[in-house]
Structure 1
């Protein structure tokens, strides 16, 4: 029996977070055996928080929230007005996560989600540290954690490796700032899928499982056996959330930011059932050694 909550990203089900869409996603998440639903807050203006919280409670599901920022609300900017807009978005999103009943707020909280044309500046990095320190202190007052999701070079210039994320977390200096590993991004930036897990160790707070092409788990070339054994080696018991995107389900804006240009699947339910069994099986075998 697994101890990790196994989650699924809402974009496996629906392309927005309007009331009908989220009710559908919650129902499907429960029906396919997951423990947790991850909701991207890029569409939070359409989110009925009270209704979603009640639906999640009724279904007995946990919730985590994630987001990145936009270039006009980027806390890694050198422009104070842009940083201020980004900081407000982060605090609003933290409040939404808490109101939904979640304790994990994660993602590219430190920058816009997109291709940068230059390296991060020293001033920009100082802004990231200052903003996330304040956000972490607010989160800590509510018993919540922040996740620094490590994304690839085409989606951020702030942190691309586990080593980058650990340095940033150290500079923020708050114990509730944890590391979020994602196998899709690790495949691009890390030497392998094992060393970063061991490097992060007990500071690992959230995991995204995704194939190298974001399709069906096991249909690409990632060494998930080694990755799950590494999770077992460090005793990780936090959420493991399946993340997959296809042009079959589109959230305008986010899908463009993530370059979802083609169909990798058409049937979200079949994809999700397969992923749930795949993750549970790897967890079981990694602990049976």
Structure 2
């Protein structure tokens, strides 16, 4: 199991300077892995990322959220095509960096929809994701679909919805990505979805109910980590938190970061690393007895 940190904890810019800075800070906070947000995989500086990862001895994963212009759940064939091209490039970037995990809201746009998905839109989404999974499989990469709240997608809001989607796409390297922030909004509890998705759970985001310091909100982390222990989960566990003090303005608006619960990301990151590792250590004592 690798304990990681989302790059947006450190910076909202992922030019060469931002890439190096985020890798350095992830290492200094004690994490094993950095998750890069590939907001524009076509311009991402892979060479700088590889150099920084090697220098600081970190593993890497990547994620993204599609926009309206790249929404693969659209009925507009040109939009779907643009989305597939972006996802193809993102998978290639992960492979070029030496990563094995690609995740996020990659099956629809990350936005507040005003209508449920259409049958044709879902068909388009599943067809694209099937092809993306095939491309990723050829590069040794797992793909995980992030289950997010109703204000950020109209396709996958619960673990069970993700399971149904996966059954239709049916690819061995395609799995579920659970996020405690979103689960706290949509799921009935923090234990059952982990058990429900046990066979296909590939990726985990750890975020508090208000996106701030872990343990200061109302997410039931005790039962969530107990569930991870119960299923023997050994994939990435990645801390995610946002503040407009760091995140780029457009992303702050999209994520609804209207109030900042932290300003010192070094303290925040070190705290999160210790919090996650302490929970995992505690759960092991239950498993042994």
Alignment TM-score > 0.5, same fold: yes
Please list the CA deviations of residues 168-210 of structure 1 after superposition, one character each: whole Å capped at 9, or x if unmatched.
Answer: 1111110100100000000010000000000001211000000
Q: Using the alignment, how far apart are the partners of 1:49 and 1:26 within structure 2? A: 13
Equivalent residue of 1:201, what SS?
coil
Partner of 1:51: 48
1:133-152 equivalence runs, <5 A: 133-152=130-149
**CA-CA distance at 1:256 after TM superposition:** 2.2
Q: Is the 8 A contact 1:207 1:240 kept in 2?
A: yes
Partner of 2:183: 186
**Number of corresponding residues:** 286
The normalised TM-score by structure 1 is: 0.97
Q: Is the 8 A contact 1:68 1:107 kept in 2?
A: yes
Of residues 59, 78, 83 in structure 2, which corresponds to 1:86?
Answer: 83
Equivalent residue of 1:208, what SS?
strand
Equivalent residue of 1:140, what SS?
helix
Of residues 253, 263, 267 in structure 2, which corresponds to 1:266?
Answer: 263
Please list the CA deviations of residues 126-171 of structure 1 after superposition, one character each: whole Å capped at 9, or x if unmatched.
Answer: 0011001011011101111101000100000011000000111111
The normalised TM-score by structure 2 is: 0.97
Say what the alpha-carbon RMSD is for the aligned residues. 1.0
Q: Is the 8 A contact 1:16 1:43 kept in 2?
A: no
Matched, 1:218 2:208: no
Q: Is the 8 A contact 1:75 1:124 kept in 2?
A: yes
Q: Using the alignment, how far apart are the partners of 1:22 and 1:244 within structure 2? A: 17
Please list the CA deviations of residues 191-235 of structure 1 after superposition, one character each: whole Å capped at 9, or x if unmatched.
Answer: 000000000012110000000000000000111111101000000
Matched, 1:202 2:229: no
In structure 2, relative to structure 1, the CA distance for the partners of 1:43 and 1:86 (3 Å cut) is closer
Q: Using the alignment, how far apart are the partners of 2:41 and 2:88 within structure 1? A: 13
Q: Using the alignment, how far apart are the partners of 1:8 and 1:148 within structure 2? A: 18
Equivalent residue of 2:199, what SS?
helix
Equivalent residue of 2:60, what SS?
strand
Of residues 28, 33, 46 in structure 1, which corresponds to 2:30?
Answer: 33
